Amino acid sequence: MSAPQSFFEFTLPELRDHLQSLGKEAFRSQQLFRWVYQMRVDDFEQMTNLSKAFRQELPQLLDLSLPRVLTEAVSSDGTRKFLFDVGDGQSVESVLIPSKDRLTLCVSSEVGCNMACKFCYTAKQKLKRRLSAGEIVGQFLAVADRLPPEQRITNIVFMGMGEPLDNPDAVFKSIEILHSPWGVGFSKRKVTVSTSGIVPLIPRVTQAGVRLAVSLNGVNDEVRSRIMPINKRWPIAELLQACRQHADESGDRVTLEYVLLKDVTDSIEDARALHRLTRSLPCKINIIPFNEHPNSGFLRPSEARIARFQEELMRLGAHVLRRKTMGRDIYAACGQLTTAPIQTPIAL
C-alpha cells in the first residue's frame, strides 16, 4: 500500500475525487474538511460522525501532520520566527509580526530563492526546492495552533523565503485552501502576494483576488538591474504597466516596496524620481531601511537620510509609509530570512 498523502495538499473537490477513486462516499470529504479546518481536530479517532471502520482506515489514506517547528525565536518587540522542517533535510522560516491591530504571518513559498536580489539574505541560499500548497497551508496552521484562544492571525503576506510567482501553482492553490469556506475561510483582502517582478504572472494575482506588493527598490533600470537581476528580463516600465493593470482591474492600490540602501537608492533625487515614476499609479510606497546582514556589501542609511527621503516623498504628495523594522535582533526582519547558519551577530 502507498504512503498516506498529506491532507493539506487537497482542495475539497480534489479530496472528493480522491475518496471516490478509493470507493468511499464523496460527502466524507466535507466531513473531513469540517473536522480538520473548522474544528482543528488532528486525530481521526475523534471524528465521531465517521464510522469506526473508516476512522481506522483513514491513517493509511491521509496524513494530518503539519510541518514540524524546529525552533522558535522571540524578538524583544514580540515578533516570532519559526523554523519549519519540511522534510528531505530542508527547512523554511515563517515570521509572525504583531502590530497595534494586526497579527501578520509572513510565509515562505520556497526553500532558498533563485532571484538573486543583491540585498537579500535568502538569495545567498540558492533555490533548493519549491514548497507544495500543503506546506504553505501547513505553516499557517502550525503557527495558528500555537496561539492562545484570544489571538488569531489577521493578515497573511507571501514575503518570506522565495519568490511566490516562481512557484505560482502551489501559492495560488494554498490561497484557495486558506480562503475557501470549506478551508480556513481567510479573507482574500487580507492576503498579499509580493513579487520581485515576474511580470507575466501578475495577472494571476489579480485573478486570485488578493493584494499585490512589488519590490521596486530602484528608480532606473541601471540601478534596479544591478541590485535585482530580474529587471534585465522585465524592466521598470513593463513592471509598472503590469501594476497599473492590476490596480485598474482590482480597484486596489498596489504596495511598492522600496529598500533604502546607503548611497545606492537613498538620495533626494531618488525620492523625486520615485515619485515621478509612480504618481499616476494607485499605490502606496513602503520604504524599508536596509536591514544589515553579514557580507551583504550594503549599508543602512543614517536615520537623518531615511527621514529626508520619506519627507521628500510626503512633500510631493506620495502615500508613503516607513516599514517599521521588526524582529531585527532574531534575523526575522525583511530580507534577512535564511535557513543557512548565521556566522556573524548583527549589530543592532
Residues that bind ligand SF4 (CB under 6 A): 113, 115-117, 120, 122-123, 161-163, 196, 215, 335
- What phi and psi values does residue 285 have, to the nearest 5 degrees? -110, 125
Q: Measured from the CB of residue 205, what is the shortest distance to ligand SF4 in angstroms?
A: 15
Choosing from 117, 120, 283, 334, the catalytic residue is 334
Distance CA 197, CA 234 (A): 7
25 in active site: no
Q: Measured from the CB of residue 135, what is the shortest distance to ligand SF4 in angstroms?
A: 16
- Name the one residue in this structure whose C-alpha cell is 496561539: 147
Amino acid at 9: E
- What phi and psi values does residue 6 have, to the nearest 5 degrees? -65, 130
**CB-wise, 216 or 219, nearer to ligand SF4?**
216
Q: Which of 261, 259, 243 is nearest to 323 (CA)?
A: 259
Amino acid at 223: V
* Cell numbers placing 151: 489571538
Q: Measured from the CB of residue 320, what is the shortest distance to ligand SF4 in angstroms?
A: 20
**CB-wise, 162 or 183, nearer to ligand SF4?**
162
Q: Measured from the CB of residue 108, what is the shortest distance to ligand SF4 in angstroms?
A: 9
Contact between residue 192 and residue 234 where contact means Cβ atoms under 8 Å apart: no
CA contacts within 13 A on the Cβ side of 5: 13
Choosing from 9, 93, 163, 257, the catalytic residue is 93
106 in active site: no
CA contacts within 13 A on the Cβ side of 48: 1
**CB-wise, 275 or 293, nearer to ligand SF4?**
293
Cα–Cα separations (whole angstroms), residue 306 to 152, 219, 254, 316, 331: 33, 16, 22, 16, 21
Q: Measured from the CB of residue 289, what is the shortest distance to ligand SF4 in angstroms?
A: 15
**CB-wise, 138 or 162, nearer to ligand SF4?**
162
**CB-wise, 19 or 199, nearer to ligand SF4?**
199
Q: Catalytic amino acids?
A: 93, 334
